[in-house]
Amino acid sequence: MVAGFCNAQSFERAAVSITVRLSDSGPGDSLYLSFKPDVFDFEVNEPSGFIKQIVGKNGEARFVIPAPGLRGRFAVWRYFSVDTVEGESGRSKVLYPFVPDAFWEAGDALAVNVERYKGTSKKNFSAAHDFHYSYFGKGAEKNNIKFKVDSVYNQAKYLSDRSLRPFDEKYNYQDPHENQIAAGKQALDSLKDNLDPVFYQAINADLIYRGSQIRFTMMKKFFDEKVKTDPIRKEQFLNQYDVNLAAQFGADASPLSFESVRYFYRKACFDDYVQNGSLDPGRVIKTLTENYEGVLQERLIAYALGEKIPSNFNELLKNTLAKTKDPVSLARLKKLEIRRKGLSPFPFNLPDASGKYVKLEDFKGKLVFVDFWYTGCGGCAGYFSTTLSKAEEHFKDNDNIVFVTITADTGKSLWLKGVKTGKYVSDKSINLFTEGKGDKHPAIAHYNFNSFPSLMLIDKEGKIQEFNSEALAKRDPDNLIRVLQEAIEKE
């Protein structure tokens, strides 16, 4: 008997047993398991391949899964009430992983007890700050170590002043997570002898490379404000910053860590921007191809192709699929095939604010610009205010083009509030609701989005002309207007 849990039923050695007890849940509640067949996954905590179990009278939900390999990761999810997402009844729920990114090995008989920290509201569901995890049974140690490392990291001091100024006067890099990484590594290395090297490598890389989005966002802001327009400073910066970043991050790159892959992709984008004055997705992929090799290279390119799409996307995707051997990268690349130029887009049929259903085929013979967004999305608001709103105004009297927005909001009242604010969309576009299904609606889920806003241009023949390309995503209204005008005039 595992401490704190009922006896596990017998199961084949190749299976994995995961028993979950959550203090917030009770008999009859539903829990969901997403089970990843590799230690690395591009969507570690994304909801895919769900297995549903009902919490029993003993307060537990037990999952038994045939192991598809030697080891991988899993997450356990439930629906949490969320005040900020309003449905027709005035409230709604969001599906969220309260046990995120844990490890499994074939034959594990694992149990996890999840207790909410005292003083936290049941409306909160941050895995990092609201819950304590205790693992028991076979397979427990690696996950207890991971939880300890994560906890030490989260409790260490974040150097917020460095976030605002990531480089000193000599352009030496100052990482705001330095204290957190040092504390986490000390905890991890003290327990290293108790870990399989594969799990050590994955935890170590996740620890070091997490938080790359805010890192490079602030680096770009610093570069734009302090360096970009001064030729002398720019030369000094270019001579120094890369050496510093390599010293800080170069030694622990791991193809087992999604955080590692995401960091090196974002670094390649930042490098391209500071060296060339703009970001070109094709150049970024070329850099990744030249600077990395093996599985790490394949995963970097597969990730890059799903982010900013280069102009030769079709050809590049075809060639990459032909030579990629890593099964995880291949699976991602195959998902991206539906974004190819020349394919028919998903034939949406969605209601507008009045309840009238609008179909894609209603716009036959016109250029259709589609903006996928959600209320509260800072990137969506930024893109609309700087770029899309200007293009809508420019083409407001042009009958050859129509602007359509499709929301990922799950609550209709929240969506309507978002529309009325004028921060994300305008009345110059046709604003459509995904019937309460949010990003699970086929109109969005069909494309396997990684982020919002996501943008698509459908030509007059009803085929995809651009999808999340830099031509659409660049925050430059003159550029977008030019791209759309050329598409309108194209015979």
Q: Same structural domain for residues 357 and 485?
A: yes
Q: Give me the chain's average pLDDT, please.
A: 90
Q: How many CB atoms lie under 10 A from the CB of residue 261?
A: 26
Give the model confidence (pLDDT) of 178-223 as tens digits.
999 999 999 999 999 999 999 999 999 999 999 999 999 999 999 9
Q: Which domain holds residue 122?
A: 15-138
Same domain, 167 and 55: no
Start-to-end CA distance of the chain, whole Å, equals: 72
**Residue 23 belongs to some domain of the structure:** yes
Q: What is the DSSP string of 395-464?
A: TTT-TTEEEEEEE--S-HHHHHHHHHHTSS--TTSEEE--TT-GGGSHHHHTT---SSSEEEEE-TTSSE
318 shares a domain with 211: yes
Give a yes or no: residue 144 inside a domain.
no
Strand partners, 71: 105
pLDDT (mean) for 151-176: 93
pLDDT in the model for residue 123: 74
Nearest to 31 by CA among 62, 66, 70, 77: 77
Domain assignment present for residue 445? The answer is: yes
What element of type H or E holds 470? Answer: helix 470-473
Q: Which of 292, 316, 339 is the last residue of a domain?
A: 339
CA 53, distance to chain mean position in Å, is 26
pLDDT of 14 > 90? The answer is: no
pLDDT digits (tens, 9 = 90+) for 411-456: 888 899 999 999 999 999 999 999 988 888 999 989 987 789 999 9
Total number of domains constituting the chain: 3
CA dist., res. 222 & res. 220, Å (int): 5
Residues 191 and 317 in one domain: yes
| DSSP H helical ranges for 324-409 | 327-335, 378-383, 389-394
The predicted-structure confidence for 452-475, as pLDDT tens digits, reads as follows 999 999 999 999 999 988 889 989
Q: Please report whether residue 373 resides in a domain.
A: yes
Specify the pLDDT at position 343: 94
pTM, two decimals, is 0.86
Residue 12, pLDDT > 60, answer no
**Cα separations in angstroms, 52 against 44, 96, 191, 287, 356:** 18, 14, 34, 42, 35
Asked if 45 and 110 sit in the same domain, the reply is yes
Q: What percent of the chain has pLDDT over 70?
A: 93
Q: What confidence tens digit (pLDDT) does each residue in 92-128 have?
A: 667 788 998 899 999 999 999 999 998 888 777 888 7
Tell me: do 372 and 333 sit in the same domain.
no
Residue 146, in any domain of the structure: no
